[in-house]
A = this chain, B = another copy of it.
Amino acid sequence: MKAQLLTIGDELLIGQTTNTNAAWLGGRLSRLGVRMTRTVTVGDTPDTITQELDRAYEEARLVICTGGLGPTHDDRTRDVVAEYFGAPLRTDADLLARVRQYYEQRSREVPESGRALAQVPEGFEVLENPVGAAVGLWHEAADGRLIAVLPGIPAEMKAIFDASVEPRLEQQPGVGEVRHRTLVTAGIPETLLQERLGDLSEALRDDVSLAYLPSTSGVRLRLSADAEQTRAEARLDEVAAVIRERAGDYIIGTGDLTLEMVLADTLRDRDATIAAAESATGGLIGHRLTGVSGASDYFLGSVVAYANAVKQAVLGVRAETLREHGAVSEAVAIEMADGARAALDATVGISTTGIAGPTGGTPKKPVGTVWVGVADADGAHATHHQFVEDRTLNKELFASAALERARRSLV
């Protein structure tokens, strides 16, 4: 099945927002075996939206539109879609009640514009929005052509796609022809991983392809098999086995798992708790650990000790250690991890102290340097890592290194 994506919003054209929806949807469709052939972005101009909707609807069996479904005057997508399909807008009583409730919970009257949120073009199905007020819309034409209209806010778009669009696509003939399997790695950079895996052509043959998908928490290896289902699964098993043999314990799981989720499972399995002491990561370790629902089962807390005085007062790092070794050092990383473990009474304490940049680097401790500490009942140690020059990337890479060291200390 071919698909085209139409993303709508002036903010995308003038560069105030990066179009992350396109990449996310492209990845999702690709996993379903739906082939995205084109994505288009236009502004909030009804004529242009109509023109592009028409082109996309002519060229692809599935069209996904995102953006322009909100309650304000520059949200034009609902009207344009209704007019394009000659489908009059009617007010859905259930939706209107929910919109009222949504505003009431916020102690506000429904604004005149809010009523647009309850309007549905005739012949369109409502796709529930679990995280916001603007619902999605779905239409299946008699000739099999499909259109999904979704909000532009990424969290809302994703929630509706997962809950309502993907299940509908899975029921379509021809969807799911390509089978995928993803192996999740951590703690090894892409180039080293490539060297370790070496030449895989004998294993991959003609029917399986391999893509390296690097991110700040590790490289995912995506295998795609283009074959009938049973055969495809067997081939994916074969290739995955070869990769596991070569990559060893750098493989931490399969599928949509994240490093945080793997660590969560490991901690739960061992009935262990974790606490962090963060300097260079500034709170990101805690933020990532608490991104997983149910984190209170094992995550006790984190002390973000940005100032040295806080390292001393809250974590018990000794003044002489700071003086002798500097804040970015093995000794301080160890005392921070020990301190977090003791102050928060956790099974495992982890720490980061480094230089995220862009300033603060020295020839001996350049930007990208980090010491990661791990403390448990057996003692404490720290490892040194050297990452990149970008502040945002470094914070993510430092946090990933700490989470991966914690996971390794538990297995």
Q: How far is the CA of A20 from the CA of B155 in the complex (A)?
A: 19
Give the size range of A's interface with the partner: 35 or more
Contact B105 A386 (CB under 8 A): yes
Binds B, one of A89-97, A119-127, A230-238, A301-309: A301-309
Q: Which of A278-335 contact B (CB under 8 A)?
A: 278, 281-291, 293-296, 299-307, 309-310, 313-314
Contact A131 B191 (CB under 8 A): no
Number of copies: 2
Contact B38 A40 (CB under 8 A): yes
Contact B303 A303 (CB under 8 A): yes
- Pick from B132, B191, B301, B345: contact of A304, CB under 8 Å: B301
Contact B287 A72 (CB under 8 A): no
A391 within 8 A of B: yes
- Do A290 and B283 contact each other (CB < 8 Å), given the known contacts A111-B194, A389-B131? yes
- Pick from B26, B114, B288, B290: contact of A14, CB under 8 Å: B26
- Pick from B15, B38, B222: contact of A52, CB under 8 Å: B38
- Residue of B whose beta carbon sits closest to that of A55: B55
A88 within 8 A of B: no
Interface residues as binary, A8-28 with B (CB distance below 8 Å gives 1, 0 otherwise)? 001111111111101111111
- Pick from B39, B114, B306, B358: contact of A286, CB under 8 Å: B306
Residues from chain B with a CB closer than 8 A to the CB of A191 are 71, 103, 108, 111, 113-114
Contact A345 B41 (CB under 8 A): no
- Residue of B whose beta carbon sits closest to that of A389: B131
Report A's interface with B, CB cutoff 8 A. Answer: 10-20, 22-30, 36-44, 48, 52, 70-72, 74, 103, 105-106, 108, 111, 113-114, 130-132, 153, 155, 159, 180, 182, 189-192, 194-195, 211-214, 220, 222, 275-276, 278, 281-291, 293-296, 299-307, 309-310, 313-314, 343-345, 356-359, 366, 386, 388-393, 395
